[in-house]
Amino acid sequence: MKVHFLNVGHGDMSLLEVDGKKVMVDCCATDENDALSYVRKVFTDKVIDYLIITHPHSDHIKGLKDLVDDGFEIKQIYESGYRDNDNDEEVYKYAIKLFNEKSAKKLKASGNKVNTDYGFDIHCLNSNNDNGYIHYDSLVIKITENGKSVLFTGDSNCEVWKEKIMPAYSNQIGSDILHASHHGSRTFFFCASEEPKEDKPYKEHITGIVPYYTVISSKSNEEKQEDWPPHEGAVEIYTDYTEKKIYITGEKGNVVFELNEESCSVENLTFNEDSMRIVDGRYLRPQTTSVNNINSNYPTTSKSKYMYNPIRNIFSKENAPHRKNPLWPVKETNEVEINATFQTKQGKTSNYYSNGDALPKGGTIQFNAKTDVLGQYKIYWQIVNTGYEAEAAGAKQLRGGFEESTEHNMRREHTQYKGSHMAQAYVTQGGVCVAKSEEFVVNIR
């Protein structure tokens, strides 16, 4: 089997030539990365026997239209079954339309093989559970031929592994090559429900996978956006548990492996063998730039157990895809500030400060906005919740939109789900947002 991990920037796209069949996993081809010309060279007859889409986030599907327009014939699509009716991005709508046209098969996790007709196996270890959280529902796929295997983890997070995969399929996860989850994000090792646990990542999955090689599909550290993956903490763990070497596509370009019964070799790579020395019987791996360059400005103080840790940036679009963009043009000419008070179930009231100690459930928090905007204005509140409890409670509880004030300049919320949640006030005047507050973080235990 031959596996090509394409360098597509922040996104995933891989090709496999296996038992005479052509398989594509995710499709992040763009004009910029020109991945399609590479596909034309490898899949010369323009036929794709299996197209596997781990989940319909744009960085995994945005090349589908160009692929079809370019005349590629797609015989069978496998997908996670995840749907987001609020998503009106063109690439998302196109993907769903294509799934319907091609009668895509929604894979279900099971210990059994998906296909049995050919000399290779596709196993699905995770699939959609309709809980409304896309990375919890990302496909996790293992492809095996002649005893050699590649594990595609999509954007699956730590919770998926802990709660779904490891209890059911821990004996099936071992793989020669690991395609790292979520572009090397820390979400693979640090569960959002238990943060911050900088010192105690979840590692049971990686100790069972024990790959020879790990590939991270992402931009290089120099090119990636701040706080975006790959994250230092995750790269370190991958490096520790990868037998031979890890590659970041943004640094190495396309990474191609040839796997046969005897060996697993890397093609077209110019890494320096001298930098891989054996010390005390084990490989001393060369430090990747990701480990050296990233993170120098990360705060080093560790916070109490339930506090929001800004290192994770859990309220960013990337980590909280349910967070909506502002509904108005934002031209900040004024200021607005949030003060909050918390009232327990028993009626005891106290001030609460952003990112303060975790509050108990069952109470009420009241946000008050103070602004210097004069004349007529209206305040909207963006409430973003995160944390595994809110996610598990389903899509309806995963909030990220804009809501009106409960009373003049004030918004009241109940403390319901364990995790860190965020409120931000937007002052609008004449259809323009003239002031927005800092993100006010509420921790709940």
Binding residues (CB under 5 A) for Zn ion: these are 59, 155
The Cβ-side half-sphere exposure at 222, using a 13 Å CA radius, reads 6
CA angle 144, 142, 37 (to 5 degrees): 85
Least separation in angstroms between CB 155 and Zn ion? 4
Task: Classify residue 109 as exposed, middle or buried by CB count within 10 Å of its CB (0-12, 13-18, 19+).
Answer: buried
Q: Which residues contact 350 (CB under 8 A, 6 or more apart)?
A: 341, 342
In the bound complex, what is the minimum distance in angstroms from residue 71's beta carbon to Zn ion? 27
Q: State the minimum distance, in angstroms, from the CB of residue 137 to Zn ion.
A: 13
Nearer to Zn ion, 247 or 352 (CB): 247
Distance in angstroms (rounded) separating the CA atoms of residues 53 and 69: 18
CB of 150 to Zn ion, least distance (A): 18
User: What DSSP string runs through 69-128?
Assistant: HTT-EEEEEEE-----TT---HHHHHHHHHHHHTT-EE----SSBS--SSSSEEEEEE--
Q: How far is the CB of 128 from Zn ion (least distance, A)?
A: 16
Minimum distance between the CB of residue 8 and Zn ion, rounded to whole angstroms? 11
Report helix, strand or coil for 343: strand
Q: Which is nearer to Zn ion, 155 or 251 (CB)?
A: 155
Tell the residue number behind the tokens 């706080």, with chain if given.
Answer: 227
Query: Looking at beta carbons only, is 144 or 187 nearer to Zn ion?
Result: 187
Quick one: 156 or 175, whose CB is closer to Zn ion? 156
Q: Which two tokens stand for residue 328?
A: 């108005």
| Cα 295 versus chain centre, distance | 19
Number of Cα atoms under 13 Å in the Cβ half of residue 371 = 31
Q: Output 59 or 137, the one with its CB closest to Zn ion.
A: 59
CB of 228 to Zn ion, least distance (A): 10
* Residue closer to Zn ion (CB basis): 187 or 242: 187
Q: How distant, in Å, are the alpha carbons of 103, 110, 344, 368, 384 from that of 405?
A: 45, 47, 21, 9, 15
Cα 387 to Cα 428: distance, rounded to the nearest angstrom: 29
Instruction: State the residue for tokens 């403390």.
Output: 415
Nearer to Zn ion, 5 or 352 (CB): 5
Closest contact distance (angstroms) between CB of 396 and Zn ion is: 24
Nearer to Zn ion, 11 or 387 (CB): 11
